[in-house]
Amino acid sequence: MTQTVLIVDDETSIRDMIAISLEMADFRVIEADNAQKALALAVDERPDLILLDWMMPGTSGVELARRLKREETTKEIPIILLTAKSEEDNKVQGLEAGADDYITKPFSPRELVARMRAVLRRATPASQNIIEVDGLSVNTDSKRVSIDGEPIDMGPTEYRLLAFFISHQERAYSRAQLLDQVWGASVYVEERTVDVHIRRLRKALGEKHDYLIQTVRGTGYRFSCQRSRAV
């Protein structure tokens, strides 16, 4: 299964060089050229690993690593720092900031990929939580969804909705309850936002499985294996 790597570096040429190497090694690559974009992508995409350049204008890679490790939604994502700094004190500083590994420039693509895979192996749980319903499989550890063994793409909010629903089957939830459970009680969005993401989730699941997300009139929505869209 393809793993996603977020490359964070302000130099386009370096990002391009790393991206080519990773894509040849069958990784999916997303990119950011500053800390603000990187944080937004880390929250939205939940990559499997972050390659983070130490020296960036504004917020440094070490400062960003500290922030990523403080955030509930990103603290479990492994981080490898990329830097020209080779002194022991710098390495210690990077590791204390939360980095899982540290690679000194220049490095070979083979070394980078090997170090990444080692970090990913350490970060992968020995056993995975997988919930399956009618050919639909949700891995709540890797946050990946497949249908009949084929991976399907969906947005992060749609994934969180599906993960919540499939873990709480056969119970109806109001839009307000879904907002609290999926978006969080501290986030303010309109209740109709739920309807938009439900439509997107049903579209992602396709005609064979969209029946699983059912409308309950006067209440909200529920996840059910019984083929009834509205009651």
Percent of the chain topping pLDDT 90: 45
Give residue-wise pLDDT tens across range 95-110.
777 788 888 888 888 8
In terms of Cα–Cα distance, which of 40, 58, 30, 52 is closest to 97? 52
Residues 106 and 199 in one domain: no
Average pLDDT by consecutive 10-residue portion of the chain (231 residues)? Answer: 89 93 94 92 91 86 89 88 70 74 86 90 67 89 87 91 92 91 76 92 93 92 76 45
In terms of Cα–Cα distance, which of 132, 207, 127 is closest to 166? 132
Which residues touch 145 (CB under 8 Å, ≥6 apart)?
Answer: 136, 137, 138, 139, 151, 152, 154, 159, 162
Q: Tell me what pLDDT residue 230 has.
A: 47
Q: Which among 82, 103, 123 is the end of a domain?
A: 123
Give residue-wise pLDDT tens across range 20-61.
999 999 999 999 999 999 999 998 888 999 999 988 888 888
Residues 41 and 150 in one domain: no
In angstroms, rounded to a whole number, what is the distance separating the alpha carbons of residues 4 and 142? 11
DSSP structure class, residue 230: B
**Which range marks the domain in which residue 38 is found?**
4-123
Task: Note whether residue 103 is domain-resident.
Answer: yes
Assessment of whether the complete model's pTM goes beyond 0.85: no
When divided into structural domains, the chain yields a total of: 2
